[in-house]
């Protein structure tokens, strides 16, 4: 019998776990040639990325709240592959920034908002859980695409500074693990979207429009921090960066709106992040 899309998804997740085990801390070289210059340029970027990666523990709690009866492949992915890999990313980046003299990342590991608890209560109704699953997948796509682009740009910047050990043993191994996560969300989103009823698609669009925020930005201060990261990685006013993050989301959720490269709520969020960053710098 030919493999189904569900079979291929399970195979993809299993392959991710086999080919990309969590990166051990003793496998990286944290040697920095010019710690002062490196910290001045990329210290806040390391802090933001470390916090986001470490907060996957809270993200898993959120998932178990929002999705009371998820597919087995989803649990396999976020419990056995995604969480162990991302936690190590966070630990490595945090160890690097501490070595540079910065405080450890202040990660929120256990708080769950009221909105998610309400979603979790409603998700006991099967059709609504499919709406929540779709939100999980499109959020995951945007998060992982942001990570792929950010790590690529960070790798280029670190190499440009001549910090070869960090570029090749820290950033490069981390960035190699992110595309597989993105592929999981993309495959899952495409499969589920084709199964949703019109009213479910309407709810997904509405809730995505109301809830979108850049990865790791849960309040105005963190949104300004995200703007700082964008500016450091040379994404100030870079519309292509935003378009790449939202491309598949645009194709799935908003295919009817021809001519729009990016959903307006994505553009607004990234623009606000940059504006808050600039205002804070000016102050």
pLDDT exceeds 70 at position 259 = no
pLDDT for the residue 283:
86
Q: List all residues 6 or more positions away from 217 whose beta carbon is below 8 Å from its beta carbon.
A: 223, 225, 226, 269, 273
Across 63-67, 97-101, 123-127, the highest mean pLDDT is recorded for 97-101
Helices (H), 55-161: 56-66, 72-75, 83-99, 114-122, 126-160
pLDDT digits (tens, 9 = 90+) for 184-218: 999 999 999 999 999 999 999 999 999 899 999 99
Mean pLDDT of 169-181: 96
Mean pLDDT of 163-172: 97
Fold of 10-282: Ribonucleotide Reductase, subunit A (1.10.620)
pLDDT exceeds 80 at position 238 = no
Which of 78-82, 126-130, 188-192, 232-236 comes out lowest in average pLDDT?
232-236
The fraction of the chain above a pLDDT of 70, given in percent, is 95
pLDDT for the residue 192:
95
Q: How would residue 237 be classed by pLDDT, with cut points 50, 70 and 90?
A: low
pLDDT digits (tens, 9 = 90+) for 47-81: 999 999 999 999 999 898 888 899 999 999 999 99
Contact 246, 262 (CB under 8 A): yes
Q: How would residue 247 be classed by pLDDT, with cut points 50, 70 and 90?
A: confident
């Amino acid at each position: 019998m030919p493999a189904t899309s569900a079979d291929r998804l399970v195979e993809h997740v299993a392959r991710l776990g086999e080919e990309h085990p969590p990166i051990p801390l003793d496998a990286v070289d944290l040697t920095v040639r010019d710690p002062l210059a490196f910290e001045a340029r990329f210290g806040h970027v390391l802090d933001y990325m470390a916090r986001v990666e470490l907060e996957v523990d809270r993200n898993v709690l959120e998932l178990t709240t929002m999705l009371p009866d998820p597919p087995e492949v989803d649990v396999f992915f976020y419990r056995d592959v995604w969480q162990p890999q991302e936690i190590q990313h966070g630990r490595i980046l945090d160890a690097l920034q501490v070595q540079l003299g910065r405080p450890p990342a202040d990660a929120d590991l256990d708080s769950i908002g009221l909105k998610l608890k309400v979603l979790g209560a409603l998700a006991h109704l099967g059709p609504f859980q499919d709406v929540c699953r779709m939100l999980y997948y499109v959020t995951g796509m945007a998060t992982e695409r942001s990570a792929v682009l950010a790590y690529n740009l960070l790798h280029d910047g670190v190499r440009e500074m001549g910090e070869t050990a960090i570029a090749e043993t820290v950033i490069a191994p981390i960035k190699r693990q992110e595309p597989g996560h993105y592929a999981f969300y993309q495959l899952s989103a495409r499969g589920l979207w084709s199964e949703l009823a019109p009213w479910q698609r309407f709810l997904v669009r509405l809730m995505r429009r109301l809830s979108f925020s850049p990865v790791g930005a849960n309040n105005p201060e963190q949104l300004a921090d995200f703007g700082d990261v964008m500016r450091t990685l040379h994404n100030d006013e870079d519309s292509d960066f935003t378009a790449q993050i939202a491309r598949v989301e645009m194709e799935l959720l908003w295919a009817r709106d021809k001519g729009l490269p990016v959903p307006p709520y994505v553009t607004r969020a990234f623009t606000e992040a940059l504006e808050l960053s600039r205002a804070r710098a000016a102050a």
